[in-house]
Structure formats: structure tokens, C-alpha cells
Amino acid sequence: MDSRVNGRIEHWNNPDAPAANSLVPASNLLVVNSSGEILLQKRRDTGQWALPGGKQELGETPSQCAVRECEEETGILAEITGFLGVYSDPNHLIEYLSDGEVRQEYEVTYLGRPISGAPAANEEASAVRWIDPTSLDAYDVHPTMRRQIDDYLAGRYPVAD
């Protein structure tokens, strides 16, 4: 399944996907507020809703990466409360049209809770919302990302992919 909007293509179990040429650690943060709502951002590069997250920079830990990316992409400062899992499906490739990078999925996803800030659109996200799990089906979420959210909701963690 592919989705192409603006610069990023998700390839999942796609035999026609280009070969991976990049394998780098990335972190996600699944933030839950006191009402049980989950923080999602609408990515400008795919148009789909996703957990905040991104590539781990040299010199930071994966949990620092998760907190930093969350604040950059949602406006919410959060703290880590747990570990959801390691997601490393070699059949999930992320193609960046701008520079030809084809990244094989390697994500570590943490659980967190909000400390301060308010959801705010930004350069990377056209919308940021707290979403009640019962209304998730109304949002376009890539299945590889929905899997992570569903693992949390079903209590199936930590995931050791």
C-alpha cells in the first residue's frame, strides 16, 4: 500500500518498492492525556495522521529524540512513562523523493504524558489533535502506524519486533 502526497511515500509489502539504502534509528512518542486521548499530528509530507517522531540525532538518546520530535511536531512537551516497543519491519520502506533516501523502518516507540504546551500546527504538521481512541477510524492513519497505536490500546506491549 502506498500513499503519496508531498515528498514521502510509504511502501508496505510492496514488491515494486525501490531497494532500501538507509537504515537509521528513529523514535516515536505515543502521548496519552488524562482523558485517555492520544496525541496525533497530520503530516504535511504524506497527509496522513501519525504519532510524533523522527530520526535520532547523533549525541542524543532515543528517548530524548522522542521528546524533542514530539515538541517540534505538536507543541506539546511530554515526559516518558513507558516503552511500547521496537518496530523493524523490513517490508516497510519510507521513500523520500527530495533526496532519494529509501529508509527501512527501525523505530522505537515510547509512551508518554503531557507536561505543558498546547497542540499547534507547524512546519511539519498541518494539524495537531488529541484524539479519542473510539474515533480513530475517522482518521487516515497508515497501517504501520495504526498497528503501534492498536498495540497500546490492546495492552500488547512491550513489543519486541
Q: Please identify, using beta-carbon distances, which residue of 49 and 56 lies nearer to another protein.
A: 56
24 binding another protein? (CB under 8 A) = yes
Strands annotated E in the chain: 8-12, 26-31, 38-43, 49-50, 53-55, 76-87, 92-96, 102-104, 107-117, 125-131, 159-160
**Residues 53/107, Cβ–Cβ less than 8 Å:** yes
60 touches another protein by CB under 8 A:
yes
Q: Cβ atoms within 10 A of the Cβ of 113, count?
A: 15
Question: According to the binding rule CB under 8 A, does residue 56 interact with another protein?
Answer: yes
Q: How far is the CB of 5 from another protein (least distance, A)?
A: 26
How near is the Cβ of 100 to another protein at its closest, in Å? 15
* Least distance from another protein to the Cβ atom of residue 109, Å: 11
Residue span binding another protein (CB under 8 A) among the ranges 4-12, 33-41, 104-112, 122-130:
104-112
Q: Which is nearer to another protein, 36 or 82 (CB)?
A: 82
Q: Is the peptide bond before 25 cis (omega within 30 degrees of 0)?
A: no
